[in-house]
Chain A
Amino acid sequence: MTISGKEANAGSDTVRIGLLSTAHLHAGAYAGQLAALEGATLVGVADEDDNQGREFAADHDVDFLDADSLLERADGVIICSTNVDHHGWATRAAEAGVDVLSEKPLASDPDVAREIVDTCTEAGVHLGVAMPLRFSLPVLEAKDALENGTIGNLQMISGTNRGKMPGSWFVDPEASGGGAVMDHTVHIVDLVHWLTGERVSEVYAEVGTHFHDLEVEDVNLLSMTLTDGTQFSLDGSWSRPDSWDFWGDATVSLVGTDATVDVECFAQKTKFTEDGGDGSGVQSLYWGDDPNGGLVADFVDSIRNDHQPKITGSEGVEAVAVVEAAYESAERGEPVDVSY
């Protein structure tokens, strides 16, 4: 029996993290968070695409390794591959006894997502899913308002998670499993599951491709109910123009019998106008706390202290189940019950 990297490092203070694939844009953000986090280090990058991996490794001054070497060296890995490759990477990590934090959605299909959970459970490795909004400070204040009774009885949640069309593999259904519904449903759905303790019970979806010439949908408008009957709407369309001043948004408005609470996760911005000759114009610079910091710190802590990451694999499966129901609703033209 080989000694896994995780066991070999027992007792060491520094938690060693590897990146499995850099296909997802967030890989750079996680590398930045790890560099800033005390007690953790990014020990290397593996990638299904050699050029992509080498370039990333050079940019972030880390080693580019083959996957087996990285898995030997790491206590935990963050999977930043395409959606459909999460399963393969997670399986390899589980076999090597290395804890996993997977980009969202956990998989493009709930059955595959469940398989990832089972594989990690059987291998005895922790599995977390990257839902950074749970670490957003404005969201945490809203959770307090829900729990301390300020809101009264919750009646409606109105959410948005719009973005620019991300291009690349995100718009290739073979790699992503779908468009805006796949990409921009799970963040807010997971947040609402966590905030309320309820689950999405029924989904009605209006989807379409209107902003770009794509094989996948870029309009994602969902009308849902939670298990306690609360209304829940979500606009997760890729409806921001390429030249918009920010990457997108993440908002939830909670309407209760006693109060309304509106959360804009990325409201803390400064307007920046560049007087370039290329007309690049106005940008907004976010200066609030980066929720990715909490996400990465939680994953590192879960490895150090051997506990579940905050967003569990099972919760990741539940978010994907809502995505599946949304696609089914769009196909059938009627509301669909989510099956968990």
Chain B
Amino acid sequence: MVNIGIVGSGFMAETHTNAYNSIDGANIVAVASPNTADEFIEEHQLEADSFRTADELLEDATVDVIDVCSPTPTHRPVVETAAAAGIDVFCEKPVAGSLEDAQAIADAAADADIAVMVGHVLRFFPQYAQARDVVEDGGIGNLGVARARRLSAFPDWGHGNWYADRDQSGGVLLDLAIHDLDFLRWVGGDVERVFARRTRWDEGEHGHVTLRFADGAVGYVEASWGLPAGQELTHSFELAGDDGLLEFDGEQPAMTTSTEQGTTHSSPLSAGGYQRQLEAFLESIQAGREPPVTVEDGIETLRLSVAANRSAAEGRPVALEEVKA
């Protein structure tokens, strides 16, 4: 049995709670959120204590791990508090909103000798993991062009609409594109430079990033918070090599139900990406191993997002060596 304290009560806290419910031995015992912890506990029928802050949670609850699902700027103080208490941490992506905060998290974790895993969940989605395996096995030869797109409606579900405050969320290139930037880095290795553009409008933002990998291959990541409200997230990727091509063109429904009211689709899995990710985290903690996605991984990927935002702001390609914590 692993006792878990969740920090946050928004969309990601809900996603993680649903995933933990499917994991044997995962037990949510505490939830911390400034105003809505009680509501969250009731809604999800948890036998958990409620707290206003992570500090209070760590002081009063007995937890084995802290799962940080709160807004990005809170990651650093929460992880620092957990480190001071010697508690291992799962931290949602991005690891932090700035490289300074990310480095502070890494330092705190190292000083306290706690494990920290960062939620780059695509590595646990079966289609992404499988594609990476095929590339690693030489299935497409040498990578030439890697592409990934991720389009969403504006994330108006954040508490106090915090995603709209770019100082907090970093905008679409930091918050959303980071998923695919991590995937491309995982597949294609070190990146030498990026070039990016972004456009912001009322309740919308859209950006794209070109990448030049150290080995000369080229990447493209596009991310949107500009789909019409209510539209579901779409995602796709493509890995083209000199000896093969992998294409994932969005979720293909495995089950379709059509009625007078309309059509619904599903693509069922025994364990989805979030569940696989959290299982891998808990297993690594219990085995005393390094988590499969480390703070260092999170920092390396964050550098890509920071470089992309800098490129978009300055209208020039940005070399990764310019972007350091």
Contact = CB atoms under 8 A, between A and B. Distances in A.
A119 interface: no
Given A206-B195, A333-B317, A156 B144 contact: no
B208 interface: yes
A58 B50 CA distance: 84
A237 B240 contact: yes
Given A158-B149, A206-B195, A255 B206 contact: yes
A258 B242 contact: no
A239 B238 CA distance: 10
Contacts of A207: 218
Given A155-B226, A233-B220, A210 B142 contact: yes
A211 B226 contact: no
Interface in B120-145: 142-145
A153 interface: yes
A155 B206 contact: yes
Contacts of A237: 144-145, 240
A211 B218 CA distance: 12
Contact of A219 (B199, B218, B222, B243): B218
Contacts of B265: none
A208 B316 CA distance: 19
B147 interface: yes
A71 interface: no
Interface string A130-172: 0000000000000000000000010110100000000000000
Interface in A160-190: none
9 contacts: A156-B199, A156-B224, A206-B210, A206-B211, A221-B145, A223-B208, A235-B145, A241-B243, A335-B317
A229 B315 CA distance: 12
Interface in A262-304: none
A54 interface: no
A230 to B, nearest CB: 8
B204 A257 contact: yes
Contact of A259 (B196, B228, B243): B228
Contacts of A244: 245
Interface in B240-270: 240-245
B197 interface: yes
Contacts of A218: 144
A87 B249 CA distance: 41
Contacts of A206: 195, 210-212, 218
A198 B228 CA distance: 24
Given A233-B208, A239-B240, A244-B245, A260 B228 contact: yes
Interface string A232-244: 0101010111001
B149 A208 contact: no
A307 interface: no
B210 A212 contact: no
A7 interface: no
Interface string A322-334: 0000000000011
B145 A210 contact: yes
A241 B212 CA distance: 21
B147 A235 contact: yes
- Interchain residue pairs A-B with the least CB separation, the first 9: A210-B144, A239-B240, A156-B206, A206-B218, A231-B197, A211-B242, A233-B208, A155-B199, A206-B210
Contacts of B211: 206
Given A206-B210, A335-B195, A255 B242 contact: no
Given A219-B145, A221-B218, 9 more contacts: A156-B206, A158-B149, A208-B144, A208-B217, A219-B218, A221-B220, A231-B207, A241-B244, A335-B195
Nearest to B143: A210
A298 to B, nearest CB: 33
Interface string B206-232: 111011100011101010101110010
B157 interface: no
B220 A235 contact: yes
Q: Which interface residue of A211, A230, A240, A244 has the most chain B CB atoms within 10 A?
A: A211
Contacts of A334: 316-317
A259 B204 CA distance: 12
Contacts of B143: 210
A58 to B, nearest CB: 37
A204 interface: yes
Contacts of A102: none
A225 interface: yes
Contacts of B149: 158
